[in-house]
Amino acid sequence: MKNFVVHQLLEHALIAHPEQEIVSGNHRFTFREFHSRVLKLANSLKVHGVKKGTVVGVLDVNSHRFLEMHYALSMLGAVLHTINFRLAPEQMVYSMIHASDEWIFVSDVFAPAVKPVIPKFPKWVLMSDDTSQALPDAKQAFHYENLVNEGSENPISEAAEVKETDIFSIFYTTGTTGKPKGIPYEHKTILTGAIQLFHHLALHKYGARVSSRDVFMPLIPFFHIHAWGMAFFPIYLGAKLVLPEAADAAKQQAIIEKEKVSWLNMVPTQLQMLLEQKNFGHVKILTGGSPFASGIAKRAHDAGVNFSLIYGGSDQLATAISVVPENIEPDSAEALEWRRVGMRPLPLVEISIRDKQGNEVPHDGKTLGAVWVRSPWLPNGYFKEPEITKAHFIDGWFRTGDLGFFHPNHLLYVADREGDAIKSGGEWIPTGMLEAIISEHEAVAQVAVIPKKDEQWGQRPLAILKKRTDVSENALRDFLLSKVKEGKLAKFWIPDTFTFVDEIPLTSAGKLNKKVLRDQYSG
């Protein structure tokens, strides 16, 4: 065993932590029971022809069955396509065809949604407790639980043949422009990238520091980088894992209390919803995906939430986490602010911020540039997209498409997506950073800043807001002027227009959907 392969985690867990628990909805399994189900499933799939390289799509919320699929397919050397159920239906089907899925596993929650595409795929498996439900009307169709029950517990001989450089999984970006891009990951790459994130968290004293005494619950879905690595880490560590299935915020809070969950991951939108729940708090949370407003940071902190932010993505995996610099008093207001704006690259990761000429920008806390990343867990590129791959993966580096700057202490701040930043009179306005400042106003529930065409300046910022309480445009303008005086932004960043809406559209990753907003408002 000199290979870093996914099912190796389970072999170790079986020796070191056989009685540890996985909880999923009403189900509760020890690692030993879980291993037995995985082995039976793998044997059944083998009988039905799943083998090295077979691509299997799975469409489910975070459940024990989805988790089992990770390990059973790994043993067979098959490829797991974690289908992004938050994509638009035609994009979802596009990804299933593009990835060449031979089998589709679908949970009963999603079965109605995929009914129209049953004829496109020959082999279906219905994931449900209830094996009396009607199966998809396909060439072949099985009940998941029958596959598990019918499988033998023989060792899978193929498991020892799986190489760390074999492809383990493929998933698709939720790009707000164009069609989704697929990224295949090797066993070694996805494991090291995902698990290094948790090592890095464990090595920093303040924030969402993990330990073997934590109880983990991922609110990030498996289709997002295997729930940001949660499909692997608790099994690797021997810690209790709780899967929320399709719980809403109120139910999530009930599960947190019942199962003594101490560590969660989620996007800021989910955190905002949990902060509305009674008794929520005193947990550790990893979040990220967009600039994080100091208002949420403070509300979370006041609720006893120990948070860290992550910077990364589907096409680079984990790149950095926010930390309290070692020379800062951990309980200070400054420490809280650093945990929001100071990202430290993971060990082995190199980050380079470059100007238009390709030169490194100074680490001065303000000079924006394009963020480039080089790390041991970069993917080999986009699936069947040589041109797009060539444009993003250059000389071993990944051009992230983000804009950011380095603080003088070498911590990174990611200010915006290059495509979202506004060019006003030849100067960049980073909208992500601007949104974080606007949302510090207590009346602002959510805000998106997009460019509006302008004859004089080329582009000018337009703010689209969802209010928490009533507020006037002038009050917001005065608030931003006070922030200009504090040195938090330049005066020309203040939006020309404030538009109030009831709901701001979000992407499948829970981020502001600026494409939809631009189509509607940019003019």
**Closest approach of a second copy to the CB of residue 268, in Å:** 25
**Closest approach of a second copy to the CB of residue 213, in Å:** 5
- Kindly tell me which of 335 and 444 has the beta carbon lying closer to a second copy: 335
**Closest approach of a second copy to the CB of residue 348, in Å:** 6
For residue 38, which phi and psi values (nearest 5 degrees)?
Answer: -60, -45
**Closest approach of a second copy to the CB of residue 26, in Å:** 24
Q: How many whole angstroms separate alpha carbon 171 and alpha carbon 193?
A: 15
- Kindly tell me which of 188 and 483 has the beta carbon lying closer to a second copy: 188
What sign results for the dihedral spanned by CA atoms 436, 442, 446, 450?
negative
Maximal C-alpha separation, the chain: 73
Question: Using an 8 Å Cβ cutoff, are 241 and 216 in contact?
Answer: yes
Sites of contact with a second copy (CB under 8 A): 1-4, 8-9, 11-12, 15-18, 198-199, 202-205, 210-213, 236-238, 323, 326, 344-345, 347-352, 374-376, 378, 396, 410
CB atoms within 10 A of CB 279: 10
Question: Using an 8 Å Cβ cutoff, are 138 and 123 in contact?
Answer: yes
For residue 506, which phi and psi values (nearest 5 degrees)?
Answer: -115, 155
- Kindly tell me which of 217 and 447 has the beta carbon lying closer to a second copy: 217
**Closest approach of a second copy to the CB of residue 235, in Å:** 9
For helices 249-259 and 268-275, the axis angle rounded to 10 degrees is 80
**Closest approach of a second copy to the CB of residue 365, in Å:** 15
What SS3 state is found at 381?
coil
For residue 171, which phi and psi values (nearest 5 degrees)?
Answer: -140, 165
**Closest approach of a second copy to the CB of residue 520, in Å:** 41
Q: CA angle 505-507-511, nearest 5°?
A: 90
- Kindly tell me which of 171 and 236 has the beta carbon lying closer to a second copy: 236
**Closest approach of a second copy to the CB of residue 411, in Å:** 9
- Kindly tell me which of 13 and 271 has the beta carbon lying closer to a second copy: 13
Contacts with 270 (C-beta within 8 Å, 6 or more apart), sequence order: 219, 249, 287, 510
- DSSP label of 155: -
What SS3 state is found at 44?
helix
CB atoms within 10 A of CB 205: 10
- Kindly tell me which of 223 and 393 has the beta carbon lying closer to a second copy: 393
Q: Where are the alpha helices (DSSP H) in 426-488?
A: 431-438, 473-485
